[in-house]
Amino acid sequence: AQSVTQLGSHVSVSEGALVLLRCNYSSSVPPYLFWYVQYPNQGLQLLLKYTSAATLVKGINGFEAEFKKSETSFHLTKPSAHMSDAAEYFCAVSEVAGGTSYGKLTFGQGTILTVHP
């Protein structure tokens, strides 16, 4: 079975500082990996996804993530935090195409990002 672990339920950074949100996955085969963001009182919005093309994936709002198979990790980074980045971030995994997963996602526990002025 697949699983996702996000290290740190809360991360706090200063505006302009590096953002690093950690995600590790467990899967018998290299999966597809996603990062979603949730702003208060809203649904989830896709930030970026890895689907076995380039291992460094660029997403919206200046975020990027790198797939490292040897470390089973997919950490999310942004060079310079902005106040508007304050939200909850979810890492998720799905099985590769060709199975019967229908693309359903298994999510991590979420990381709340706080940005201080």
Partner 1 sequence: DVKVTQSSRYLVKRTGEKVFLECVQDMDHENMFWYRQDPGLGLRLIYFSYDVKMKEKGDIPEGYSVSREKKERFSLILESASTNQTSMYLCASSFGDGGNTIYFGEGSWLTVV
Q: Which residues bind partner 1 (CB under 8 A)?
A: 4, 6, 9, 31-32, 34, 36, 41-46, 49, 51-52, 90, 92, 94-99, 101-110
DSSP-based three-state secondary structure for 85? helix
Q: Cβ(11)–Cβ(99) under 8 Å?
A: no
Q: Cβ(49)–Cβ(57) under 8 Å?
A: yes
Give min distance, CB of 47 to partner 1, in A.
Answer: 11
Could you tell me the two tokens for 46?
Answer: 């896709």
Query: Of the two residues 15 and 64, which places its CB atom closer to partner 1 in the complex?
Result: 64
Query: Of the two residues 12 and 109, which places its CB atom closer to partner 1 in the complex?
Result: 109
| CA–CA gap between residue 61 and residue 95 (Å, rounded) | 26
Query: Of the two residues 10 and 82, which places its CB atom closer to partner 1 in the complex?
Result: 10
